Structure 1
Amino acid sequence: MLALGLLLNFAGIGLFCWLIFTLAIYALPFFVGLYVFMLALHGGAGILAAPLVGIAAGGITLAVGQMAFAMTRSVSVRAIIAALFAIPATLAGYQVVFAMSQIGVPSLAWREIFACLGAIFIGGTAWTRLTIFTEIRPLDSGRAVANDPQPVLTAAAHQK
């Protein structure tokens, strides 16, 4: 029974860590949704309307962030957008790892070290998940890029 308990604890911690790393990219939309929910609730929207407004705000934040990241060609703008998503994930990662380390680490110094390392890894994961599958298209002024909606007009097209 002890071995089964240890195995299940190990599997549970592994599942929890997988969830943290998978959901790290959604920290900014969650925080925006929670903030808008609290504003709506304190503004008198009611118990039924406030969650809907918060969920809509979080979804819009995620959609606008991903669309802005996908549509821009500037590396600096992409870095700013990725940082906007990675910084809340880093803060959330710090808090989660610090809370989890209180279970088994008695020293405050080691808890802080583990929390800082967890924040770096979780923030880096959020940054990587946002930037890994995007490629920057080259800017060619002389010819059209394959994915552009309107091709560059040539001299022959101007004469017609």
Structure 2
Amino acid sequence: MLALGLALNTLGIGLFCWLIFALAVYALPFFVAVTVGMLAFRDGAGVFGALLIGIASGALTLAAGQLTLAVSQSLTLRVAIATVFAVPAAIAGYHVVFALSQIGVPSLAWREAFACIGALCIGGTAWARLTVLARTRPSDSAGVVENTPRPVLTGATHER
């Protein structure tokens, strides 16, 4: 029974970590959805209305960010959008890893170290998943300078 408990605990923590990495891109839209939903509820929209407004604002945030990232040709704008999405993911990753490390790490210094490493990994994952959308389009040359081979000119040219 002890082995089964350890195996299921490891499987559960592994599944939870996979879920955190898979959902890292959605941290900013989730934060926006919760904030706007809470504001709508406070202003009298009701539970159902606040839920709908929150979901719509989160979906709009995600769609606008990904569309702007995919369409933009400015590297500065792409970096800014990826950073705006990666920072909340890193903050969420820090807190998740810090909470999970409390299970088996007694030292506060090691928990902080693990949480910082987790924040970097999860923020980097969000950054990488967002930049996948920013691949160069077929009309772009992908930064490659085309050097077409030119015929070699010799000292003597023959014309006939």
Give the structure-2-normalised TM-score.
0.84
Please name the residue that 2:103 is paired with: 103
Q: Is the 8 A contact 1:33 1:56 kept in 2?
A: yes
Q: In structure 2, the residue corresponding to 1:48 is in which secondary structure?
A: helix
Please name the residue that 1:66 is paired with: 66
Runs of 5+ in structure 2 lacking a partner? Answer: 142-160
Please name the residue that 1:37 is paired with: 37
1:125-148 superposed Cα distances (whole Å, 9 cap, x missing partner): 000011135323437xxxxxxxxx
**Structure-1 separation of matches of 2:28 and 2:133:** 20
Q: In structure 2, the residue corresponding to 1:44 is in which secondary structure?
A: coil
Give the structure-1-normalised TM-score.
0.84
Runs of 4+ in 1 over 4 A off after TM superposition: none
Q: Is the 8 A contact 2:70 2:133 kept in 1?
A: no
Please name the residue that 2:89 is paired with: 89
**Structure-1 separation of matches of 2:134 and 2:35:** 30
**Structure-1 separation of matches of 2:85 and 2:78:** 11
**Structure-2 separation of matches of 1:60 and 1:135:** 22
Higher Rg of the two aligned structures: 2
Q: Is the 8 A contact 1:92 1:119 kept in 2?
A: yes
Q: Is the 8 A contact 2:66 2:133 kept in 1?
A: no
User: Amino acid of the residue matched to residue 119 of structure 2?
Assistant: A
Aligned-residue Cα RMSD (Å) equals: 1.1
Q: How many residues in Structure 1 have an aligned counterpart in Structure 2?
A: 139
User: Amino acid of the residue matched to residue 5 of structure 1?
Assistant: G
Q: Is the 8 A contact 1:73 1:136 kept in 2?
A: no
Please name the residue that 2:132 is paired with: 132
